[in-house]
Structures are given as structure tokens and as C-alpha cells.
Amino acid sequence: MWLLRPRGEGWVIDGTVGMGGHAEAILERSDAEVRLLGLDVDSEALDRAAARLARFGDRVRLRRANFRDLGTVAAGDGVVAARAVLLDLGVSSYQLDESGRGFSFLVEEPLDMRLDPAAPQTAAALLNELPETELARIIFEYGDERHARRIARAIVRRRPLATTGDLVAAVRGAVPRAAWSRRRHVATRTFQAIRMAVNDERGALRQALREAPGLLAVAGRLGIIAFHSGEDRMVKQTFRTLAREGFAELEPSPVVPGDDEVRANPRARSAKLRVLERLP
């Protein structure tokens, strides 16, 4: 997070505060006058962030909110001219491993996949109700899965799906054995795609990309960590456009984790960080 280390006073907005790991690192490394507004749609994640960040006292404000509403939430807290805005997209390890909401193909759980437990549609509802062609589109577009059509057909045949095991079985039955990779579970891409659709992750990112640049102070920085090529493409294209409108991308290529970081946290292997700065 060396690219987001504000000096002096002002606000940092962490739009995906999660368990507060990045927020903690930013607060530890910045001056004591820097305050942080942390958002997350998951109230359990916010409870964990609150415990982790308690020692920073009133330097921290946490809000249960979607980062698609970044502008309104910031305005409600009187936050203008932020020193930095961070979005670390996707799910946290806690959500994958402990939430019991069916994000992982490795454990048998109900097919929920809502990041916001109050959101209207679960993964089971989406898998059981959408037309086959729409399922295939989602799995292809959000999962980059070339067997999307066969998987969509297998899902429709297996309906009603209730658990992660049902979805894994549908994918296993649909993808030819010869195409299974040794490095990646056969259902990885499908799980990612369904999760992205359940939470409208693309839509939220599109909206945040519209709102976040306008919240930055001069020399303020917007950092976005994407794990999916489609999301990184959206960020890259938006940053290129903004480069003609008073902003500059800090590095010509995205920052990726080093070998040590990937060894310590294999889930970081596909992460790409891009940082945009507001020019005077």
C-alpha cells in the first residue's frame, strides 16, 4: 500500500474495508490527523473491522453501504476532497472460508453467495430461475469459462440446485475430463461468475468509477485492486479516459504481487493494483 500513504490531514475512503487489513496498514503509516471512512456491504465483516481498528478511536468511521453509493455516503459524512480512495474488489478470506454462505466450492454449504446478506437474490434463486442462455452468458462473461454453454445446460438439467455440492457436480459433469486443470479447481470460474452476478459486482464497479475520481483532493489517489481480467479492463479504460481530464495513472502497468506475497497468500496471485492521481 505504499502508493496510498497520505501525509498531513484529511480523509481516506476504504470502499471495501472487509476485515480492516488495508485500513489498518494505511492508518499505521499515515499521520495521526488522517481519518478513514470504511464501507462494506457485509455487516459481519464490519464487526471484524471495528474490532481490528478500535485502537484508532475516532480516526475511523465505518458504514454498512455499497461502494456504488460512494458519493452519497461520503457526502453524508461530510467527506470532501479525500486524500485517497481504495477499492479492493471481490471477497475476503473470511467470506470464503468462514461465512457459511457458499462462496467456496471446497465446503458443502447452501448456495447463497450474497456479500450483503440483506440483498434480494441468492445464488440458488439465480441458478434455478434464469434461462439457460442467460446463465451461459454470465458464466462466459464473468468467469471467462469456455465451457459455459455446457455448464449452463448441466445446471438447468440438475435443477433445483440447493448446495455448493450441487453446483460442483453440475460443472464436473459438464466439463470434459481432458480440460480439467491441475492448478485450478474445475468449478473455480463458474463460482466466481455466479458470485459476481448475484452481487452485481460489475455494475457496482462501473458506478464507483464514475463517482470516485470526483471525490479526490488535488494529489489524492484512487487505488483499485482487481482480481478479474474484465474488471481490470474496466479500470484501465476508465483511467485512460481520465488521463485526458486532469488525472494521471501512477504506473504505466498494474502493480502485481511479488513471489513472496503469492507464496504467503496464494489467493493474491491474480491481483492487479492500478493507481490514479488527481493533478493540480
CA distance 23 to 37: 9
Residue ranges in 186-245 that form contacts with ligand SAM under rule CB under 6 A: 204
Stretch touching ligand SAM by CB under 6 A, among 60-68, 124-132, 159-167, 246-254:
60-68
* CB of 148 or CB of 196, closer to ligand SAM: 196
- Contacting ligand SAM (CB under 6 A), which of 6, 10, 20, 223? 20
Q: Give the long-range contacts of residues 247-253, CB within 8 A, separation 24 or more.
A: 247/213, 247/276, 247/277, 247/278, 247/279, 248/276, 248/277, 248/279, 249/274, 249/275, 249/276, 249/277, 250/3, 250/221, 250/275, 250/276, 250/277, 251/275
- Contacting ligand SAM (CB under 6 A), which of 3, 5, 21, 269? 21
Q: How far is CA 139 from the centre of its chain?
A: 17
Count residues contacting ligand SAM (CB under 6 A)?
21
User: Does 85 sit near ligand SAM (CB under 6 A)?
Assistant: no
* CB of 40 or CB of 249, closer to ligand SAM: 40
Cis before residue 160, ω within 30 degrees of 0?
Answer: yes
CA distance 167 to 164: 5
Nearest approach in angstroms of CB 145 to ligand SAM is: 21
Nearest approach in angstroms of CB 194 to ligand SAM is: 15
CA distance 198 to 238: 24
Residue ranges in 23-52 that form contacts with ligand SAM under rule CB under 6 A: 39-42, 45
* CB of 40 or CB of 112, closer to ligand SAM: 40
Question: Using CB under 6 A as the criterion, which residues of the chain lie in contact with ligand SAM when the complex forms?
Answer: 15-16, 18-22, 39-42, 45, 66-68, 88, 90-92, 115, 204
